[in-house]
Amino acid sequence: MSFDFDVIVIGGGHAGIEAAYASSRLGCRTLMLAVNLDTIGAMPCNPAVGGPGKSQLVKEIDALGGLMGIAADSTYLQMRMLNSSRGPAVQSLRAQSDKGEYSLFMKRFMESLPNVALRQGMVKSFLTDGVRVSGVELAFGERFSAKAVVLTAGTFLEGTIWIGRDTQPAGRAGEFPAIGLSACLKSLGFKMGRLKTGTPPRLDGRTIDYSQLPQVQGDEPHEFFSYLDNRPKREQLPCHQTRTCERTHEAIRNNLQESPMYSGLIHGVGPRYCPSIEDKVVRFADKESHSLFLEPEGKSTYEVYLQGCSTSLPVSVQNLIVRSLPGLEEAVIVRPAYAVEYDYLPATQFTSSLMSRDMEGFFAGGQILGTSGYEEAAAQGLVAGVNAAAYALGLSPFHLSRSSSYMGTLIDDLVTKELGEPYRMMTSRSEYRLLLRQDNADMRLTPLGREFGLVDDKRWARFQSKQAEIEAEMERLKQTRIHPCPEWEAALSECSERIKNSLTLEELLRRPRVPYALVEKLCPRTGGGAFPWVLELETDIKYAGYIERQKAQVAQSEKFDNVRLPGDMNFLDLENLSKEAREKLQRIRPETLGQAARIGGVSPADVSVLLVLLSARRRAGKDRDESGADAGGTN
């Protein structure tokens, strides 16, 4: 049997969901294939969304009409703003999610889409037509043809889970791995690598003594990920904190030889920024303790996630570790921790549209490209899904630059840097993080999403309303002047400020110690009502000088990003480049001079040589055109 679609998405995780949804919004007939339809949108590791660098991705997904932010807002157990005492560039929202409700929300939503078909099945191979993909074949013989295919297989390619020295094939605990697909990809010319990730044990919450553990409460009132209205207000649950002690560290040190990582049984590289508990004890031997968090997994379950305690040690050792922790002396492990090792595709084989450089119509996104985290996966899935649909419809690719978004930064890093470990987004990854704050994601990206057909009328109307409110208030602050008087003197004394001469409210608000709340109190807006976009307004005013400076940096860097490199350029023949630069440029094949400059091993001198060579190539092409010879021109 065979079935025809525009786009096929392989995988029902966070990347697959955003890819299929984005494809459907562009009007493509879309098929989502999953090994198990009951685990669409599953949270196999931390039941949470957001955090530093990650909340910026979620806000950007939402600004482009994606689903993750809406799902997180609809199923949260706790909302908390991290880094709230620091600058706006690093403030990051985090939601503790009800993992069961989150997955159910995603499954119901995907089932409601009229042009998305869900099918349970395991892909055995890809169908090809020369140098382009034309569909997939399932393990039991079904064939599905398509103009584009998006692979979002997560940790399932030749997945193997480890607990101590015991191992079994699995994409994650309790689920079959994808066997044979790696061999198919290799036969098509793709290079594969091996990575590793892990997850902590889940505990029976009824066996935890919370009385001796400090609580971590959510914010009241709290923020949301999506700027759409009518978001549900839910009762928040507390998390709790505990810490490792010398007994914990002793149990780990005494059993390191049982860890598959330390005994050499696992060859995949693990995430640097999410280390296992044994890694923490070994790498940070000077630390007397490490902080761990007890996070509820849902309202309908008593399972508790022990955040910060990923491990692949044997279950007997896991019990020693857990019961050495304050408050967990009698705790029972419901699901043991494990490590999972899996195949991945180094992303340097893909363009910034996340399409293969050598196989037309073949896209990929998520952990399959070497990232870790739900948010990174969802961001890639959206971009891969949009571009798969654009390819199927014959449209130009959808592109996000580093200066426009964290999503653009993420993808640029993936396709230009040879990563040796799972990539995790952090605010420090972006050189433009003051411009790319979570509070202005919609102002940066929603117009672009609307132009490409990703943003519906409801979201666009909401965006225009917000934009109008901010512009009107900004204009009021610029036009309203105040003068020294006792009322202002008394109010400003509270923040150690004073005014000597007449000035506008905008000029007053530029002062670091003067909050918008004070200005609004003494000079309220007409019509009353709270102004909902305070952070964005205040940041644009107080940081105006820094923002303009970053915009100038963007303009400078975009000069290189706008210089396209010819697709047929043989870098190995460019003898004026260093040998390392030639080899890396030929292997990675950057699309622009800006991308070339960001490749490790390509020096500023190499970039200058490339610029000279491109100028000479353009001049030669122009001369030939003007002389009537070689009328086709050159790149």
What CATH number is attached to the domain comprising 517?
Answer: 1.10.10.1800
Other residues' Cβ atoms within 10 Å of the Cβ of residue 284: 11
- Domain closes at, from 547, 581, 610: 547
CATH code, domain carrying 240: 2.40.30.260
Residue 447 located in a structural domain? no
Reported as a single tens digit per residue, the pLDDT across 155-202 is 999 999 999 999 999 988 888 898 899 999 999 999 999 999 989 999
Together in a domain, 539 and 609: no
Strand order in the sheet with 160-163: 166-169, 160-163, 338-344, 193-199
- Per-residue pLDDT at 625: 56
The answer to whether residue 580 sits within a structural domain is yes
The reply to whether 224 and 294 lie within a common domain is: yes
Express each pLDDT in 359-395 by its tens digit. 999 999 999 999 999 999 999 999 999 999 999 999 9
Residue-range definition of the domain harbouring residue 591: 563-627
- The yes-or-no verdict on residue 608 having pLDDT over 70 is yes
* pLDDT at residue 631 in the model: 37
Q: Tally the domains of the chain.
A: 3
Q: How far apart are CA 294 and CA 48, in angstroms?
A: 12
DSSP assignments along 22-51, one per residue: HHHHTT--EEEEES-GGGTT--SS-SEEE-
Closest by alpha carbon to 431, among 534, 540, 558, 539?
Answer: 558
- Same domain, residue pair 503 and 607: no
* Same domain (yes/no): 209, 317: yes
- pLDDT computed for residue 628 by the predictor: 53
Cα 569 to Cα 438: distance, rounded to the nearest angstrom: 39
* Nearest-angstrom CA–CA distance, 619 and 634: 10
- Helices of type H across 236-373: 246-253, 277-283, 315-323
Q: 3-state DSSP call for residue 363?
A: strand
Domain for residue 129, yes or no?
A: no
Model pTM score: 0.92
DSSP structure class, residue 475: H
The answer to whether position 294 is within a domain reads yes
User: Which of the two residues, 618 and 528, has the higher pLDDT score?
Assistant: 618
* pLDDT band, residue 38 (cuts 50/70/90): very high
Asked whether residue 587 falls in the same domain as residue 487, the answer is no
Structure token digits, residue 81: 């703003």
Which residues sit opposite 126 in a β-bridge?
Answer: 136
Q: For residue 435, which of 56, 38, 14, 13 has the smallest C-alpha distance?
A: 56
Confidence of residue 622 (pLDDT cuts 50, 70, 90): low
Q: Do 612 and 492 have their domain in common?
A: no
Whether residue 264 sits in one domain with residue 311: yes
Classify residue 49: in a domain, yes or no.
Answer: no
CB 361 within 8 A of CB 391: yes
What six digits make up the tokens of 7? 């786009």
Query: Between 407 and 620, where is the model more confident?
Result: 407
Considering the domain boundaries, does residue 384 fall inside one?
A: no
Same domain (yes/no): 589, 537: no
Give the other-Cβ count within 10 Å of 246's Cβ.
10
Task: Express as a percent the part of the chain with pLDDT over 90.
Answer: 79
For residue 20, give every residue at least 6 positions away whose Cβ sits within 8 Å of its Cβ, in sequence order, or none: 7, 9, 30, 32, 110, 113, 116, 385
Buried-state track 461-481, b at ≥16 Cβ within 10 A, e below 16: ebbeebeeebeebeeebeeee
> What pLDDT does 629 receive?
45
**Three state DSSP letters for 595-630:** HHHCCCCCCHHHHHHHHHHHHHHHHHHHHHHHHCCC
Burial of 46 (0-12, 13-18, 19+ CB in 10 A): buried
Domain end residue (candidates: 338, 359, 376):
338
Residues 263 and 306 in one domain: yes
Tell me the backbone φ, ψ of residue 47, rounded to 5 degrees: -80, 65
Q: Which of 338, 355, 385 is the last residue of a domain?
A: 338
CATH (domain of 620): 1.10.150.570
For residues 133 and 300, give the distance between their C-alpha atoms in angstroms, rounded to a whole number: 43
Pair of tokens at residue 398: 């959808």
Residue 472 structure tokens: 């009107």
User: At residue 627, does pLDDT exceed 80?
Assistant: no
Residue 234 and residue 302 share a domain: yes
Task: Summarize pLDDT for 557-578 with one digit per residue, the tens.
Answer: 888 888 999 988 899 999 889 9
Q: Is residue 403 part of a domain?
A: no
Q: Treating both helix axes as pointing N-terminal to C-terminal, what angle do 246-253 and 315-323 enclose, rounded to 10 degrees? A: 170
Q: Tell whether 233 is covered by a domain.
A: yes
Q: At a CB cut-off of 8 Å and minimum separation 6, what does 516 contact?
A: 509, 531, 534, 537, 538
Whether residues 214 and 326 share a domain: the answer is yes
Distance CA 620, CA 633 (A): 9
Rounded to 5 degrees, φ, ψ at 368 are: -60, -20
Position 483, amino acid: H
Same domain, 476 and 527: yes
Mean pLDDT of 234-256: 96
Residue range 107-127, pLDDT digits in tens: 999 999 999 999 999 999 999
Q: What is the pLDDT of residue 439?
A: 94
CA dist 342 and 89 (Å) reads 34
